[in-house]
Structure 1
Amino acid sequence: MTDCGCEKAQKSLEEYLHNELCKEDAGDIREHIDSCPECSDEHRVGIVLREAVQRACKEAAPEDLRAQVMAKLRSIQAEHA
């Protein structure tokens, strides 16, 4: 594998984080991240953001808020029917 460089690593980081790269490209990115403090930091930020989004998607709105939103949507639909 060859060091891919910061530009390629940063451009491919999102796909790398989602395991969407071929084995060779993923290996090149991993090798670069391991040897480049700046890209390693970007990688860690990407992981933290991905995990935060995953947690947020698992959370549900409180039932009273859900009821209020649904009531408002029904009201708006009734006005336009």
Structure 2
Amino acid sequence: MSCEGPDCEKALENLYVFLDHEIDTASCDEIQSHLDDCSECLNEFHLEQIVKALVGRSCTEVAPTPLREKVMFQIRTVQVEIRTESP
């Protein structure tokens, strides 16, 4: 099977939610079945698994407290603006 059909397109579009286990069981089974039959999509899946694992291992630093506080302040500011703009 070549990696060009609609099954490939659907599998690749949903690859990240499949990797993160954030997809319903029926779709998960469908994608897994496709990966079992399509070596090109399976290779893409394995590549994304490796990248995800590498990023997970590399992102262990914690932001400095002043930066975290500044980001949280900005988030709260936007939340307040959204609440005051709502009808």
Report the TM range for the smaller structure's normalisation.
0.5 to 0.7
Q: What 5-or-longer segments of structure 2 have no aligned partner? A: 1-5, 65-87
Question: Which of the two has higher C-alpha Rg?
Answer: 1
SS of 1:5's partner is helix
Q: Map 1:1-81 onto structure 2 (within 5 A).
A: 5-58=7-60, 60=61
Query: What TM-score comes out, normalization by structure 1 length?
Result: 0.66
Percent identical pairs in the alignment equals 29
Distance 1:31 1:37 in 2: 11
- Aligned pairs, number: 59
**Distance in 2 between residues matched to 1:47 and 1:9, nearest whole Å:** 14
Coordinate RMSD, CA, aligned: 2.0
Q: Structure 1: where are the runs of 5+ without partners?
A: 67-81
What displacement does 1:54 show?
0.3
Normalised by the size of structure 2, how large is the TM-score? 0.62
